[in-house]
Amino acid sequence: MAQSRAAGKDVAAKLACYAHATITGSHVGPVCLAAADARLAAALAKAAARGGCANPRNDGAIAAAVDDCVAALTPLLTTRPCDVAKSKAAAADAAAILRCYQRAALAGGAVDPVCIAAPEAKLATRLAQIAARGCGAASDTGIAPAVEACVAGIDAETPVTTTTTSSVTTTTSIPGGTTTTTVPGAILSGCASGGYSTDVTIAGTGFTVIADSGSTTLGVASSLCAQCTGLSPRYTQGATGTNTGLTASTTYGDGSTWAGPVISDLVSAAGAASLRMAFVAIDSQTGFFQPGGCNFTPVANTYQGILGLGGAALAEAGTDSYVDKLSTSLTHDLFAVQLCGVGGHIWWGGYDPTALIGAPTYTPLIAASPYYAVVLSDLRVGGSSLGFGAATFGDTLVDTGTTAILLPTAVFNALAASVGALPAFQQNFGGAAWFSGSTCNVPNTHLTKAQLDQALPPLTLVFPAVGGGSFSVQLPATDSYLLQQDDSLGNAYYCPGIEAGALTIVGANAMHTLITVFDHEHGAIGFARQQGCPALAGERSLAARATAPAPLPKPPYRHRPIAR
């Protein structure tokens, strides 16, 4: 949806150019139009650079459709100075209807007439208000049809992308019962190595931010940040924003940091309702804004901030927890994520049952921990325990912002030795030392993802269950101790999916086969098998190749739990 949103903004910007010319009694300025074109081109390039968001169509066709739209609307909207308000109303209507088209395309169905009726009703009301001030015209009846026609033209040139909002009716299985409710949600972009991102709107400006369950405070790059060169957009405090007079800073597990003033403003994240909250306008940072990407090619400006999904206990002083603030408007105080190899979903207050295979099974959260932390009671390779228990693992964090599975050094060494001793692993990757290396490899014997998962044992995580007993979560080799990373040519590489560290963290790679439910209401984390993620390159056979492509350097891994 990023392309259609960019096109909608371009329509509004160009109509504003014509409106300014009408007000000043001058010709429309080519510099104004050129600036709008440049912003559209930059937005389309950014959307194409995101993992899973490449635009298969000609961006020039989108720009042409925008110009056709503006040409059709301009004679109806900007013939008199008092018509300028109609331009804004029409632009808002076009943007809203474009969202209806894209939601329908994502759902694979027809455009919902109720969705279109709402912005049309707003447009009609606004035009009536303008006419009541003496600015009505016979041509006003042609504005709504013109908007619909030009939106259809833009929609034909803007494919569905991996970041949009949605709402689903879902049966939510939670400890204590099953209810039916409607939940908002959004599609995520990105991948485990580059981070999963979603859209946040602050005071009407949209930002792309990392979705991170290992922290709480929302931080967005500020226009005053000297170390944020190349990031766009950046937050500028406007009429709805208030500087609280406080400052805050955050340091993450990978050593990256940021700091800035605490601002109170209107925030809407990932398809949820808008609310007022305190966040940080980042005016300094070290190592936080790193190039992202999901195919070994670093791409700048893939995100402009981070949305912490944690509770108030992890919030920096003076800032709010978005999930805590949002909970008052939700039927159930929970959120759920589906992290695919590329892209995914986030839902507020429930989840989409069509994405699950069976109901989630829940393990209690550790009440004394500020993180989403659970007890990991055993770790097994192919059904055989590695011999470590909860005392060794400590509090086990479930973190969407961490790339791989982090394990205490003794557990890491035991797992690497167990898998590294297997003939199938040695034939394709080498021995145990590979897990401590810095390269990613295409399997030497040209195995597909499914063949690798058949040849190598699964990794099984055992948790205590809510209500007593225990349950296990079995992860395929290629979604646990191996991390798949496709290159730009479609070759499936595998990188180490485990790391040694001081903490135990179930990172994003371990969630690829799961729907993970973060249930504040009942103090639990739920896991269920997922379905519906797109196939990656590893589903194709490489047997036709005489030799495997050369190893590539392992991309930087993310460690997003806030340091405490």
CATH superfamily of this structure's domain 351-553: Acid Proteases (2.40.70.10)
- Cα–Cα–Cα angle for 197, 202, 203, rounded to 5 degrees: 160
Q: Which two tokens stand for residue 82?
A: 């008092």
Residue pLDDT, tens place only, 463-486:
999 999 999 999 999 999 999 988
Domain with CATH 2.40.70.10 in the chain: 165-336, 351-553
Least confident of 73-87, 189-203, 518-532: 73-87
Report the pLDDT value the prediction gives residue 138, as an integer from 0 to 100.
Answer: 67
| pLDDT: which is higher, 440 or 66 | 440
Contact indicator for 38, 17 with CB cutoff of 8 Å: no
Contact indicator for 518, 309 with CB cutoff of 8 Å: yes
pLDDT bin (cut points 50, 70, 90) of residue 51 is very low
Does 561 have pLDDT greater than 80? no
Give the DSSP H or E segment for 20.
helix 2-24
Does 296 have pLDDT greater than 90? no
Report the pLDDT value the prediction gives residue 378, as an integer from 0 to 100.
Answer: 98
Does 57 have pLDDT greater than 60? no
| pLDDT: which is higher, 558 or 211 | 211
User: Residue 550 contacts by C-beta under 8 Å, 6 or more apart in sequence?
Assistant: none
Least confident of 49-63, 127-141, 143-157, 412-426: 49-63
Least confident of 126-135, 177-186, 269-278, 552-561: 177-186
Report the pLDDT value the prediction gives residue 113, as an integer from 0 to 100.
Answer: 66
Region 149-163 average pLDDT: 55
Task: Look over the chain and give the mean of its residue pLDDT values, rounded to a whole number.
Answer: 83
Does 433 have pLDDT greater than 90? yes
Region 102-117 average pLDDT: 63
* 233: preceding bond cis by omega (within 30 degrees): yes
Report the pLDDT value the prediction gives residue 299, as an integer from 0 to 100.
Answer: 73
Q: Which two tokens stand for residue 498?
A: 């485990």
Q: Which of 152-156, 164-168, 363-367 has the highest mean pLDDT?
A: 363-367
Q: Could you tell me what percent of the chain has a pLDDT over 70?
A: 78
Other beta carbons within 10 Å of 355: 20
Does 267 have pLDDT greater than 80? yes
pLDDT bin (cut points 50, 70, 90) of residue 171 is low
Report the pLDDT value the prediction gives residue 557, as an integer from 0 to 100.
Answer: 82
Q: Could you tell me what percent of the chain has a pLDDT over 90?
A: 50
| pLDDT: which is higher, 49 or 525 | 525
Q: Which of 115-124, 130-139, 189-198 has the highest mean pLDDT?
A: 189-198
Report the pLDDT value the prediction gives residue 451, as an integer from 0 to 100.
Answer: 94
Does 365 have pLDDT greater than 70? yes
Residue pLDDT, tens place only, 512-544:
999 999 999 999 999 999 998 877 655 544 444
Region 154-174 average pLDDT: 52
Residue pLDDT, tens place only, 278-293:
999 999 999 999 887 7
Least confident of 27-41, 277-291, 394-408, 539-553: 539-553
How many CA atoms does the CB half-sphere of 230 hold within 13 Å? Answer: 10
Write out 454-518 in H/E/C secondary structure.
HHCCCEEEEEECCCCCEEEEEECCCECCEEEEECCCCCEEEEECEEECCCEEECHHHHCCEEEEE
How many CA atoms does the CB half-sphere of 242 hold within 13 Å? Answer: 8
Report the pLDDT value the prediction gives residue 163, as an integer from 0 to 100.
Answer: 40
Report the pLDDT value the prediction gives residue 119, as an integer from 0 to 100.
Answer: 77
The arrangement of secondary structure in 165-336, i.e. its CATH architecture, is Beta Barrel (2.40)
Report the pLDDT value the prediction gives residue 160, as an integer from 0 to 100.
Answer: 44
Q: Which two tokens stand for residue 126?
A: 């606004």
Report the pLDDT value the prediction gives residue 117, as an integer from 0 to 100.
Answer: 76
Residue pLDDT, tens place only, 217-246:
999 999 999 999 889 999 999 999 999 999
pLDDT bin (cut points 50, 70, 90) of residue 52 is very low
Report the pLDDT value the prediction gives residue 189, as an integer from 0 to 100.
Answer: 87
Task: Look at the pTM and tell me if it is higher than 0.75.
Answer: no
Region 254-263 average pLDDT: 94
Report the pLDDT value the prediction gives residue 301, as an integer from 0 to 100.
Answer: 74
Collapsing DSSP to helix, strand or coil, 329 comes out as coil
CA distances from 69 to 28, 36, 62, 97, 137 (A): 16, 14, 11, 13, 20
